Amino acid sequence: MISWYFAAKIIMSSIDNFNNNPINLVVETRYLDWNTEFPSISVCETKSEERLKKFMDQYYDDGDTRQTFFRQKALRNIAFFKGESKDLMKCYINSAKEQVYNDILKCPTENISEISTKVYIHSTSDVPNMNFKESDRFEIKPKESMLVLFALKDVTNENGVKDVDIAQRKCRFPDENELTVYRYYSYSGCIVQCRIEKQMKLCNCTTHFTPGNTSYPSCNMKGLMCLGEHNMDMSTMKDAWNFDKTGLYCPCIQGCDDIDLNVYYKGDVEKYLDKDGVDVARVQIKMGYLPSERLTRRVVTDSLDMVVSTGSTIGLFLGASLLSFVEFIHYFILQIFYPPKDENYTQSWLKDKSLVITNRRFGRLHNTLESKKAGKRVGRVLKVQTRE
C-alpha cells in the first residue's frame, strides 16, 4: 500500500506539471548571432476639452454661438409639428429659391499648433489602445523636443513550443488568431475585441471607429449616449477575482512573439524650433544599450516525457510494466466477457481428443505393419516359384 501511495503521488505531480508547467522561460546569455529588431512606433492624435474650448473661443465669438443656439431652439420647437410641407423640399442652401442661412460660418480646417500627439512604443504585432502601460507612451506638443531611451530582450521559441496546447503554454502565435477585428493575434488586439464585445452587450452597437470587421453596427446618437453612460465599465481593466470593481475583464493571453520592452528614461521636454521656423515636434527614440541576453521558451515536459515518467515510477514502486497492465486487462476484463469452459469438461474433452489421436496413430501404424508383412509374403512366394 505504501508503494501504491507514493507511486500515485509522483504520477499526479507529473500530470500537474504536464498540464500547468510544460514550458519554462529561460535566459540565454551565450547567444552570438544577435539580430535585434527595433520596436514599432505609433503616433496618434489626442483629444482635450480644454484645447477644444480654447479653439472655439479663438475662432467663434459669443454672437455666433448665441445665434446658433437660438436657431437650434427654433428647430427644436418646430419638431413638435407633424404637418407636411411641400415647399420644404424646394429649399436650397446657396443658389436656391430661398436662402435659409444667410451667413455661412467659416470653419478653419488647418492644423492647430496647440494639439499634441501621443507616441506609443510596442511590439510589431501590438496595436495602440487606451490601456497601454504609462511607461510605454508619452505625449508631446509642437515646438517641443524629447529624448526617450529603452532596452529590450528578444523572445524566441523552440520548435516544439507550437506543438504544445495553447492553454498549456499560455501564449498565442500571430497565426493562431480567433479575432475578427485584426488579421493576426496580439494581446492588445484581444483587448480591443473584448471591449467591442462589451459594447455590443451593453448598448447593442459599437463606436464608429471600430477597426476591421464591419459586421458590428455603429452606434447612433442614442447608442453613443449609452456608451458614455457605461464608460467606466469599458475604459478600465480589472482582474477576474475583482467582482466588486467597476471595469472590463478580458481573458486575453500574451503573444508568443512579444518582446520584453522597458522604457527606462524619458527626458525633460525642451523647446524646439525647426530651422525653417516651422512649428514641429522632435522625438528621439533610441536603444540605450545593445541586449546581452534573450528569453527562450523551452518545452520541459511533452507527451513522451509524461509516458516515460509514468512508466519509470510504476516500475520503481510497483515492479510492473506495460505488459503487466496488458495481463491485468486480459485476466480481469477479457475473462469476464469470454469465461473459460468447465474444468472437468475440458479435461474429459482433452482425454477423448488424445484417445482419438492415439487410435489414429495406432491405425496408421497397424496398416504400415500389415503392408510390410504382405510384402514379405509376396517376396517369399516369388522366391519359391523361382526355385521350382
Question: Using alpha carbons only, how large is the chain's radius of gyration in Å?
Answer: 44
Q: What is the pLDDT of residues 148-190, one digit of tens each?
A: 899 988 888 888 888 888 888 889 998 888 888 888 999 988 9
Q: What is the pLDDT of residues 37-62, one digit of tens each?
A: 888 888 887 766 676 677 777 766 65
Cα 107–Cα 108–Cα 113 angle in degrees, nearest 5? 145
Distance CA 153, CA 137 (A): 18
Q: What percent of the chain is modeled with pLDDT above 90? A: 3
Q: State which amino acid sits at residue 268.
A: D
Q: Which three cell numbers stand for residue 30?
A: 551565450
The beta strands (E) that lie in 199-290 are given as 254-255, 260-266, 270-271, 282-287
pLDDT at residue 381, rounded to an integer: 40
Residue 323 CA: distances (Å) to CA of 40, 304, 315, 336, 351: 57, 18, 11, 20, 33
Among 240, 244, 234, CA closest to 205: 234
Percentage helix, strand, coil for the chain under 3-state DSSP, each rounded to 5: 45, 15, 40
Residue 102 near residue 242, CB atoms below 8 Å: no
Residue 142 near residue 281, CB atoms below 8 Å: yes
Q: What is the pLDDT of residues 52-101, one digit of tens each?
A: 677 777 766 655 555 555 555 555 555 555 555 444 444 444 444 444 44
Q: State which amino acid sits at residue 383.
A: K
Q: Which three cell numbers stand for residue 118?
A: 501621443
Task: List the beta bridge partners of residue 148.
Answer: 266, 285
CA 50 to chain centre: 40
Residue 43 near residue 119, CB atoms below 8 Å: yes
Higher pLDDT, 113 or 37: 37
Q: Note the pTM of the prediction, 2 decimals.
A: 0.62
Positive or negative: CA dihedral 371, 373, 376, 377: negative
The mean predicted confidence, pLDDT, of the chain is 73
Those residues with Cβ within 8 angstroms of residue 171's Cβ, 6 or more apart along the chain or in another chain? 253, 254, 255, 256, 297
Distance CA 181, CA 199 (A): 14
Residue 53 CA: distances (Å) to CA of 45, 105, 129, 284, 327: 17, 18, 25, 31, 85
Torsion of CA 188, 193, 196, 200, to 10 degrees: -160
